Chain A
Amino acid sequence: MKKKIIVIIMCMLFLGCISEGNKAKTISIAGSTTVQPISDGLAEAFMKKYDISVTIQGGGSGTGIKMVGEGTIDIGASSREIKEGEKEKYNLKIYPIAIDGLAIIVHPSNKIENLGMEQLKKIFSGEITNWKELGGEDKEIVLVVRAEGSGTRDFFEKKIMGDVSLSRKAMQKPSNGAVKATVAGNENAIGYIGAGYIDDYVKAVRIEEVYPDPENIRSGKYELSRKLYYITKKESEDVKKFMDFVLSDEGQDIVETLGFIRIG
């Protein structure tokens, strides 16, 4: 008797497994954690309007680009520009969907208010190692960065570091949220996050006397601004619908409520 029940349950599970009725109506997004809150907000609103599921994975911009290029994901989210090699290899459609600033954050108790680009370079290359060299306390600077593959890291290294290598003493974290949490918990820390992640638990410093608020980012006054992208390859009807939604007024309103800047 027990055996019969087990067999019946297994058949049901098997049938459940092979039922692919709803599979067609799912859109998958993967990639940048900077873009993730936007994807989250857009997905939630989109799913209320349409009977299409939107799933979101992380992994960083590199993951997003790779996965959409290889067809394992519908939409790749990226916080950096597509490299030439990637463009050639995969033949991708690129949609800027928002503008974001790269904010440099420190602990709220840190007295530093402003940093120059040269200073930034020296701090993150390990040339400047102590806060007292910047007029702060006599404490060792703790660098918090993103792991390889992060679009945010890529942008940071291009725009700020240039040819200078990042200090190997930097602590690597898997997401914007993790960098923020680490800096929020350590008075000696400095790190970088997308400006959309700034909250009361960290303090964003002015760069060359310009604060990363939406106005300054939109106007370009804040130097460290970048576009955020959705990347597609083969677009199903559902993906087209989603992309239209993202770029519509409603979608862009959501982008703004989340603390980013609308495109266009």
Chain B
Amino acid sequence: MKTEKIVEKILLIFALSATLVIFLIIIFLFKEGLPILKKEGLGFILGKIWNPGKEIYGALTFIAGSLSVTFLALLIAVPLGVSCALFLAEIAPKRAESLFRPVIELLAGIPSVVYGMFGLIVIVRFIKVSFDIPTGETVLACSIVLAVMILPIIISVSEDAIKSVPRIYKEGSFALGATHWQTMKRVILPTASSGITASIILAMGRAIGETMAVVLVLGNVEMIPKSILNPAEALTSVILLEMGEASVGGSHYEALFAVGIILFIIVMILNIISMKIGVRKK
């Protein structure tokens, strides 16, 4: 009995480790980044100028960069992903589904650097040539790469949501004489909508948090993009590119942690929303 109690206590600590790490992350992020946020106030989020040399820190450019590529990526990936999910859940012959599942798992498993490489070599070049613009490192290129990266999330979570629509709903619809498409449109999709929305939110969090593919393909230009054929810079990229230089404890260091805080908060809010939506039963 005694050993059991000891083991139980040890396992409890193990179980709490994840929570402990999250607390540590929050503590470290805020310890380093909060002073700058306090000093600059709202100016940190609304300021357009990022000039570490003159100690001016405004992250609006990066927020705009991250949001624009994320939204465009969703625009591309959501229709495609939900269609695939519908296909897999409603139309696919048995064989096709087991064939397709590995496809999604593989797409999900490819490392982000590889996506970045592919994006830089193929997509950036393609866009530069097709649109005859100065450089192919653009919001469009980055969004395409991100769209491919978030497809697996949208497909698998949406598929789960669609599959869990009770058969009775579908059968009732068919009994009333509706076609398959009408059933999908009026019954299945609305019922599964909270799950599909959750998948979109999860995908959003993934896209905003992506670093390697973005830094290779977006161009890292410190301006708010005026069109999708402009380069831009993301929150994740500025941290990656400038972290090496900032002296520990200096204002640049603190500012980069502050950017980390913004990123963290955005992703956490999205995470909480998706959890709330996912929990709500139809």
Q: State the A residues within 8 Å of B (CB).
A: 58-60, 62-63, 66, 69-70, 139-142, 147-150, 168-174, 185-186, 188-189
Contacts and interface: CB of A to CB of B under 8 A. Distances in A.
Contacts of A142: 134-135
Is the contact region of chain A dominated by helix, strand, or loop, or is it mixed?
Answer: loop
A59 B52 CA distance: 16
A63 B245 contact: yes
Given A148-B52, A149-B242, A171 B248 contact: no
Contacts of A60: 244-245
28 contacts: A59-B245, A60-B245, A62-B245, A62-B247, A63-B244, A63-B245, A66-B245, A70-B247, A70-B248, A148-B245, A148-B252, A149-B242, A149-B244, A149-B245, A150-B245, A168-B223, A169-B221, A169-B223, A170-B222, A171-B219, A171-B221, A171-B231, A172-B222, A172-B241, A173-B220, A185-B125, A186-B128, A188-B134
A66 B134 contact: no
Given A140-B134, A171-B219, A147 B248 contact: no
Contacts of B222: 168, 170, 172
A150 B241 CA distance: 10
List of 5 A-B pairs having minimum Cβ-Cβ separation, nearest first: A149-B245, A59-B244, A62-B245, A63-B244, A172-B220
A174 B239 CA distance: 12
B189 to A, nearest CB: 42
B221 A168 contact: yes
Interface of B: 52-53, 125, 128, 134-135, 137, 215, 219-223, 231, 233, 241-242, 244-248, 252
From A63, A70, A141, name the one whose CB has the most chain B CB atoms within 10 angstroms.
A63
Contacts of B241: 147-148, 172, 174
Contacts of A63: 244-245
A186 B247 CA distance: 34
Contacts of B252: 148
Contacts of A168: 221-223
Given A168-B222, A168-B223, A171-B220, A139 B134 contact: yes
Contact of B248 (A66, A139, A140, A148): A66
Nearest to B233: A172
B110 to A, nearest CB: 22
A10 to B, nearest CB: 15
Given A148-B52, A189-B135, 17 more contacts: A66-B245, A66-B247, A66-B248, A69-B247, A70-B247, A147-B245, A148-B241, A148-B242, A148-B245, A148-B252, A150-B245, A171-B219, A171-B220, A172-B221, A172-B241, A186-B128, A186-B134
Nearest to A70: B248
